[in-house]
């Protein structure tokens, strides 16, 4: 059973470009969570999605950030018009049920030049 997959593993963008991060949950998991980790800090919750629905986006900045988890395909975290402060590691986690253990992917390390 493959684990949570994220791609790309590393992403470099210039200020003002768009970043698109993908997350494929574990097989049988329909709950996806996105977290952001700044250097030397813990992970901060951003958004929680189920298939085709955003359940909780309380941790996501109101502007430039959006997330989706379509019926088919991976969950996508989109950052428009990136700024240097967006440089971080973005982790996706998935769970089978809402109350189950969250399993994390290897992360996408975004660098904004």
Partner 1 sequence: QQQVKQSPQSLIVQKGGIPIINCAYENTAFDYFPWYQQFPGKGPALLIAIRPDVSEKKEGRFTISFNKSAKQFSLHIMDSQPGDSATYFCAASRSGSARQLTFGSGTQLTVLP
The greatest distance separating any two alpha carbons of the chain, rounded to the nearest whole angstrom, comes to 38
Binding interface with partner 1 (CB under 8 A): 4, 6, 33, 35, 40-45, 48, 55-56, 58-59, 91, 95, 98-107
For the bound state, the minimum distance from the C-beta of residue 81 to partner 1, rounded and expressed in Å, comes to 26
Reduced to 3 states, what is the DSSP secondary structure of residue 71?
coil
Spatial CA neighbour of 11 closest among 78, 65, 100:
78
For the bound state, the minimum distance from the C-beta of residue 68 to partner 1, rounded and expressed in Å, comes to 17
For the bound state, the minimum distance from the C-beta of residue 16 to partner 1, rounded and expressed in Å, comes to 28
* Residue with Cβ nearer partner 1 (76 or 89): 89
The count of other CB atoms within 10 Å of the CB of residue 69 is: 25
């Amino acid at each position: 059973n493959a684990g949570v997959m994220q791609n790309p593993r590393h992403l470099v963008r210039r200020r003002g470009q768009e970043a698109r991060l993908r997350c494929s949950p574990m097989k049988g998991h329909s709950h996806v969570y996105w977290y952001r980790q700044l250097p030397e800090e813990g992970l901060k919750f951003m958004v929680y999605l189920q298939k085709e629905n955003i359940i909780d986006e309380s941790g996501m900045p109101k502007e430039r950030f959006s997330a989706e988890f379509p019926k088919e395909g991976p969950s996508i975290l989109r950052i428009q018009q990136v700024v240097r402060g967006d440089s971080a590691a973005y982790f996706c986690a998935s769970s089978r049920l809402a109350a189950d253990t969250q399993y994390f992917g290897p992360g996408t390390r975004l660098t904004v030049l």
